[in-house]
Structure 1
Amino acid sequence: MIRKNKLKQLIKDGGFAIGTFVKSNDPAVAEILGFSGLDFIVLDNEHVAMSRDSMINMIRSADSTGIVPIVRVRENRPVEILQALDSGALGVQVPNVDTKEEAAALIESVKYNPIGKRGFSPTTRAAAYGLMDKKEYVALSNQETLVVAHCETTTCMENLDEILTLDYLDVIFIGPMDLSQSLGVMGEANHPKVIESIEMIIKKVLGAGKAVGIVSSPAQANDYIAKGVQYLLISTDQGMIASAAQKIAADLKK
């Protein structure tokens, strides 16, 4: 059942939120991250094989601890977005949103009429399987769903001013790795071209009164927070396991 989106409220109040990408299909991972004190998780449907059944169970698990579940969908298609939100996700994170038209289509896919054109079924998990008042559900969904659009190409940067004129676009998320590829310096997230582009995107998004998101290392996070970034994704669940295991092994084998 859809609920109040603490992540969206935190951003609206001017705070910052800490999350991580989840690439595992085990619901225990979502529970552990929720108990650990993170604000949100992003289920990575773009880069891993996650069935709808496993996605729903991950969202259920997140709900049990109060952590906010967001889904990174495979692509900017209505059915992808519909299935994530109908499953109970409190928002979607969408890759390759490069034009104002693509951003508008994303918003239309997330929101119900009169804002958008999302397909309506009152018997989904998000609507408590038909046990929630229909009008209340639609109003709450339109209010609480978070819309996150990736800015990770030179095309998006060229169109960013137009994209930022749209209402209901909550977060512009910077993907440094894809951005490095688009800028011709693939994998070099610290290249001057990438850093300059990130600074430009942050400045424009904040100037438009919207929130900025980025994937960051723990070491960089405070610098981004100081620059006004509110939606921080630190590593991944797999990355956290790998780095902790590597450190333990290295420390004990000295």
Structure 2
Amino acid sequence: MAANALRDMATHRRVKLGTLVAEFATPGIGHILKSAGCDFVFFDMEHSGFGMETLKSAMRYFEAADLPMMVRVPSQDYHFLARAMDMGAEGLIAPMVSTVEQAQHIINSMKYHPAGTRGVALQIAHDRYRPGSVADKFDAANKRSAFICLIETADGVKNVDGIAALEGVDCLWVGHFDLSVSLGIPGDFAHPTFTAAMDKIIAAAKKHGKSLGRLVPNVQQGQEWYGQGFDFICYSGDVWVFHDAMADAVSKIRSGCK
């Protein structure tokens, strides 16, 4: 795996495709997704119930498959942010980022001196248990770590220009469902208030040269949002892909067995 794969991806606007993992943290999942053509995986701890021990094991599965992994931790608390980095997270996502101060706190928590204030632990999982000088370790860790900033509140949209301007923010990621709820229009993604919010996020990313990412439920939306400027396209998730494929096959076989 390239040392800074996610951060390298965030430097260009060519499409990057992945999926969300919230259920099947199995030893083969990395190789399966890599074989399917995924460029990255979005590993979700916020809604899955995955704990730190599961995360640590899953990290090794995706490393073995050379598949870059962004991790959504359950909260903005330091101990989730720093521990996920210590376990080897390449990209970090935290929920409900609404202010410049919150975004800066996340950057401080995931970066070593001088870019941040992360507590020091070396020759462990995040640096592949390799020895080396402190200065080199700090530099490599800071260059490797990518911050994918989740914008999913009305305040996050209001402050998105300042958030996107921060050094250390590599990608703006839209949490579309929570954003619609925060805007008072749950699930109404065609509402003018929602589309205006999307326009503001897209404009901030373009202005400050940051990548854009979001989850999409189907192929058509993936293509449409890429056309709007989104380059990290996260297609569905393990639960829904498995469910929909199985439901389709079972229905077709059943209908032909009469």
**TM-score interval (norm. to shorter):** over 0.9
Q: What is the match of residue 10 of structure 2?
A: 11
Q: Superposed, which structure 2 residues align to 1:224-243 within 5 Å?
A: 224-243=225-244
Distance 2:180 2:12 in 1: 32
Distance 2:101 2:83 in 1: 22
Cα distance per residue 1:191-224 (max 9 Å; x no partner): 3332332122112221221111111122211111
CA contact (8 A) 2:10 2:211 kept: yes
Q: What is the match of residue 19 of structure 2?
A: 20
Q: What is the match of residue 201 of structure 1?
A: 201
Distance 1:69 1:156 in 2: 24
Identity, in percent, stands at 26
Query: TM-score, normalized by length of structure 2?
Result: 0.92
Structure 1 runs (4+) deviating above 6 angstroms are none
Distance 1:36 1:135 in 2: 38
Gap regions ≥5 residues in structure 1 = none
Aligned length: 253
Change (3 A) 1:190 1:245: farther
Distance 1:225 1:107 in 2: 27
CA contact (8 A) 1:11 1:17 kept: no
Give the drift of 1:61: 0.6
Q: Superposed, which structure 2 residues align to 1:1-254 within 5 Å?
A: 4-24=3-23, 25-217=25-217, 218-254=219-255
Change (3 A) 1:195 1:249: farther
Higher mean C-alpha deviation, range 76-85 or range 196-205: 196-205
Give the drift of 1:4: 1.1
Higher mean C-alpha deviation, range 230-239 or range 133-142: 133-142
CA contact (8 A) 1:96 1:151 kept: yes
Give the drift of 1:23: 0.7
Give the drift of 1:132: 4.1
Q: Secondary structure of 1:18's match?
A: strand
Give the drift of 1:252: 2.0
Distance 1:12 1:43 in 2: 21
Change (3 A) 1:165 1:11: closer
Distance 1:229 1:68 in 2: 18
CA contact (8 A) 2:21 2:237 kept: yes
Q: Secondary structure of 1:212's match?
A: strand
Q: Secondary structure of 2:236's match?
A: strand
Give the drift of 1:130: 4.9
Distance 1:165 1:69 in 2: 24
Distance 1:248 1:57 in 2: 32
Amino acid at match of 1:225: Y
Query: TM-score, normalized by length of structure 1?
Result: 0.93
Higher mean C-alpha deviation, range 158-167 or range 72-81: 158-167
CA contact (8 A) 2:16 2:39 kept: yes
Higher mean C-alpha deviation, range 97-106 or range 11-20: 11-20
Give the drift of 1:109: 0.8
Amino acid at match of 1:9: D
Distance 2:134 2:189 in 1: 46
Cα distance per residue 1:134-157 (max 9 Å; x no partner): 332221110111101111111111
Gap regions ≥5 residues in structure 2 = none
